[in-house]
Amino acid sequence: MRKRDRFLTGILLILIGVSIGTLFALYTINDDLAPLSEVRYTEIKKSESPFFEDEELADIDPRFVFKTIANNVTPSVVYIETIIPVSENGESSSDSFWNRVIPRRARTVGSGVLITSDGYILTNNHVIEDAVDKGIKVVLNDKREFPAKVVGLDPSTDLAVIKIEGENHSAITVGNSESVDVGEWVLAIGNPFRLRSTVTAGIVSALSRDVQIIEDNFRIESFIQTDAAINKGNSGGALVNTSGQLVGINTAIASQSGSYQGYGFAVPVNLAMKVATDLIEFGEVRRALLGVSIVSVDYNRAVDIGLEEVKGVEIIVITEDGAAYEAGLELGDVILEVNGVEVNESNQLQEKIAIVRPGEKVDLTIWRDGQEFSQSVELKMLEQQQINDLVGIPESPQEEENEPEVFELDVDFHEFDLGFRVIEVPVQNGQLNQLIISRVYKYSEAWNRGLKKNQKIISVDEIEVEDLESLKELVSENLNKNKAVTIEVLDEDNARGYIELKDN
Catalytic site residues?
A: 126, 158, 235
d(CA 364, CA 101): 58
| CB burial readout 443-468, b (16+ within 10 A) else e | ebbbbebebbbbbbbbebbeeebeeb
d(CA 403, CA 38): 103
- How many beta carbons lie within 10 A of that of residue 141, not counting itself? 17
Of the candidates 265, 73, 89, the residue with the CA atom closest to the CA atom of residue 172? 73
Do the Cβ atoms of 239 and 250 come closer than 8 Å? yes
DSSP letter, residue 398: G
d(CA 443, CA 438): 16
- How many beta carbons lie within 10 A of that of residue 362, not counting itself? 21
Greatest alpha-carbon pair distance for the chain in Å reads 149
Contacts of residue 218, defined as CB under 8 A and 6 or more positions apart, other chains included, come to 156, 287, 382, 387
Cβ contacts of 176-179, under 8 Å, gap ≥ 24: 176/245, 176/247, 176/269, 176/270, 177/224, 177/247, 177/248, 177/268, 177/269, 177/270, 177/271, 178/270, 178/341
- How many beta carbons lie within 10 A of that of residue 292, not counting itself? 24
Question: What values do phi and psi take at 385, rounded to 5?
Answer: -65, -40
d(CA 171, CA 121): 9
DSSP letter, residue 304: H
Start-to-end Cα distance in the chain = 131
Q: Which helix (H) or strand (E) holds 448?
A: helix 445-449
d(CA 236, CA 251): 6
| CB burial readout 226-265, b (16+ within 10 A) else e | bbbbbbbbbbbbbbbbbebbbbbbbbbbeeeeeebeebbb
Do the Cβ atoms of 113 and 94 come closer than 8 Å? no
d(CA 499, CA 487): 5
Cα angle 245-246-251, degrees, rounded to a multiple of 5: 155
d(CA 407, CA 409): 6
